[in-house]
Amino acid sequence: MPIRYINELLGLPELQLHSVVSIHETEVHLEASPVAYKQACPLCHSEEAVKRDGRNTPRKIRHVRIFGKKCFLHIPSVRLACSRCNIGFVWSYSCVGSKERYSRAFRLQTVNQALVSTAAHSARMQEAPASTVQRMHQEALPAESERLLQQAWHQAKEQTDLVLGIDDFAIKKGHTYNTGIHDLRGETMLDLLLGRKLDALRTYAEQHSEFLNLNPKAVVMDLAQAYHTWISECFPKAIRIADRFHVHGYVIESVQAVRKSVQSTLSPRAKGILKSHHRLLNPPADSLPEKSRTQLDQLLAFSPLLREVWEWKESFSRWYDYSPSFDVARLGFIRWCQQGKGIEHEAVQNDAELGRGNRELPSLSLDECDSRRTA
């Protein structure tokens, strides 16, 4: 292949390829030099008084693969001098940073590989030291993260049916909680704010006008009062959705709380059986294999209260999955809350009370379930 085609293949217009120094099974070494003869002085920005002043040891630069082989570019380290400023400097290449041994194209490719997999994987693919790839990755992260963030906010602002998700999380469980703001349809995280109390949330909104400029159609969150108050202040028109994952979590917790108090009243044998199979109470009955169903029936026969709360949990999923319309779902929800209030256990009554106290919430979850159905 004529050298000028290889030159085009490399995609480095500032370089002129002279020769293929060597070509082995796994490596190709190419010799190149700058197309231009002079470079502007970094101080006076003019070429006028600049003269070439010899060369330092040539640089060996790792570049992106060519013909499936590792590619090294041997380029001169041209010394230049500006007589006007009375300084000396070396040629600066745009394809590679000063004093760096990897071309920008190679770094970009390596970092992109690492971003979609791992630095170790990228290092294997590029046949480069893992520590080097790790460093390139670390160096590229701040800019990459900034770019993704800009993109996420842009997407959220443009989104006509924006659905936000607000959720708390702790980096270490049990420690300080933070709040994540997500664009659920775009599947991006927009921001992280410290804390989850109303004061912290309000301060964030005051300081971030771009957040208040969003126009969410709905906001999904758990049942924490602070979130509901905050979101109703920021986006009064948005539908607030208590998401299923959280509500279902509360229901399961109640079932297990009842199970624990029932367990303490049973005979040692029954107690043991209930304890070791307590997880069978959580999943929907129709998702259990036959054998587990039989075991579950045995557990439920231990206590009418346990059976009652388990049935209440089952009817929650039924209500969520099978309500054919908004009106039926609204009615179903009221019945479900009544069913819960009829169960004589504090854990359940609290949940049922939650539904009653936050009158808005159930209708909101229903809106979501309605729109999912029509979608």
Q: Which is nearer to Zn ion, 82 or 221 (CB)?
A: 82
CB contact at 8 A, 49 and 84: yes
Rounded to whole angstroms, the Cα distance separating 309 from 345 reads 9
Q: Which is nearer to Zn ion, 85 or 198 (CB)?
A: 85
- CB neighbours (10 Å) of residue 212? 12
Tell me which of 12, 30, 41, 214 binds Zn ion, using CB under 5 A.
Answer: 41
- C-alpha radius of gyration, the chain, whole number: 33
> Please, what is the Cα angle at 336 between 335 and 342, to 5 degrees?
90
CA 209 to chain centre: 23
Q: Give the footprint of Zn ion on residues 83-122 (CB under 5 A).
A: 84-85
Shortest spacing between CB 100 and Zn ion, in angstroms: 24
Q: Does residue 43 interact with Zn ion by CB under 5 A?
A: yes
Q: Which is nearer to Zn ion, 43 or 331 (CB)?
A: 43
Q: Give the footprint of Zn ion on residues 299-358 (CB under 5 A).
A: none
Q: Give the footprint of Zn ion on residues 56-85 (CB under 5 A).
A: 82, 84-85
Q: Of 280, 296, 282, which Cα lies nearest the Cα of 253? A: 282
Q: Which is nearer to Zn ion, 83 or 229 (CB)?
A: 83
Q: Exposed, middle or buried by CB within 10 Å (0-12, 13-18, 19+), for 347?
A: buried
Shortest spacing between CB 33 and Zn ion, in angstroms: 23
Amino acid at 288: L
Rounded to whole angstroms, the Cα distance separating 105 from 103 reads 5
Shortest spacing between CB 83 and Zn ion, in angstroms: 8
Q: Which stretch binds Zn ion (CB under 5 A): 37-45, 131-139, 300-308, 316-324?
A: 37-45
Shortest spacing between CB 37 and Zn ion, in angstroms: 17
Residues engaged in binding Zn ion (CB under 5 A): 41, 43-44, 82, 84-85
